[in-house]
Structure 1
């Protein structure tokens, strides 16, 4: 995770011979610095997956000019491949399955897998369909939105219409809903959960992680070797099997 939040989002997924970027919504300067920090050339990745076309997910699109880019909405660029919910395709050695999310723009989540691992990536959704549970259960790793604490959000100075947009079914997941879904999704092979797209004003890493841990304990889904972490707006976070 290179960036996660309302000011920009970018994630790099790699295995032994493939690299995929999910979203590129922060500044070109920051992304270049972050890619340099992790030792990856952004111009040499195998593909770019776009969740949706809000600025905090596509702002640095030009940085990936010439890279095969997968998105539902027309981005007006060369090398774009139009995708749809439930589409399946392969980028190098990583298989991708598209998941329909509920946001105020056409938005995708992704299931990425190879012969060894399964990763679920879900952000920017106010509602998550339980019908996806069988497909997405028992993945090795989850990157999952936990955007806001409702009480903290309501105390912010944001206009009422913005707060309403966030909490509605095509907005963002609150901590409690995120934790509920994760408690139903994780399984014996799950080794790590990274909470993503946290609001800087309407949430805190400590609060989001506490709600998740308490929910998993209450539902008897917590495991001793399960890592729980939260991604920050501008800080590189590495995980998975390395």
Structure 2
């Protein structure tokens, strides 16, 4: 190996060690207090891990280890099992953050898990045992999502997408049009059956929770979000934002996540 390639290899190796794929140990702050928990971000339907990019950047700037989980969007039970596997790989305490359908997943994955210290819901579902995302989204008027959906036959049944021509208005009205177009093109479908699946016992019954409620949301009406948050005795923050609040208002989401993290240290 010549000198140039040895240098490149050393830089790459140092980068891997410094950044890592997963945090293997929680970060202690400069005052030597309890290490900061790892923030695990669970995206919802019609999105992917990149929807958290600006939130990740802010959390890392403030010294928090972060993992944006890849949500399979197949079923609440199997998606929660995948998330529990990820949590088991992480050393130290964890704060679970779920957007949209990801709220159903963190509610299931966090139950009985001693590593999980708090739950943060972001324009999300907080289902009670036996409830479904579909039922909760239609419990109060205001969702226009059904008219924006298109169905694609998947190997395990119908998959749902938001039509690209409807995505900006429906999902991300307060995001620049060009950025929303990229989000529409890269959205991941959710299995229709996942939205109809009945939830198990929720973690918010045993752990403290925080909730970012989006008052201009066309997917989950604000009234539905308030109903779920109040039932869970969550610490509520309201923001005039679309369903894509982590993209359009990352600072609000960061502040709420960090408040949850500080409260559990």
Query: Do they fold alike, i.e. is TM over 0.5?
Result: no
Bigger CA radius of gyration? 2
Q: Larger % of strand: which?
A: 1
Highest RCO, 1 vs 2 (Cα 8 Å, sep ≥ 6) = 2
Question: Hey, which of these two has a bigger chunk of helix by percent?
Answer: 2
TM-score (norm 2): 0.38
Q: TM-score if structure 1 supplies the norm length?
A: 0.41
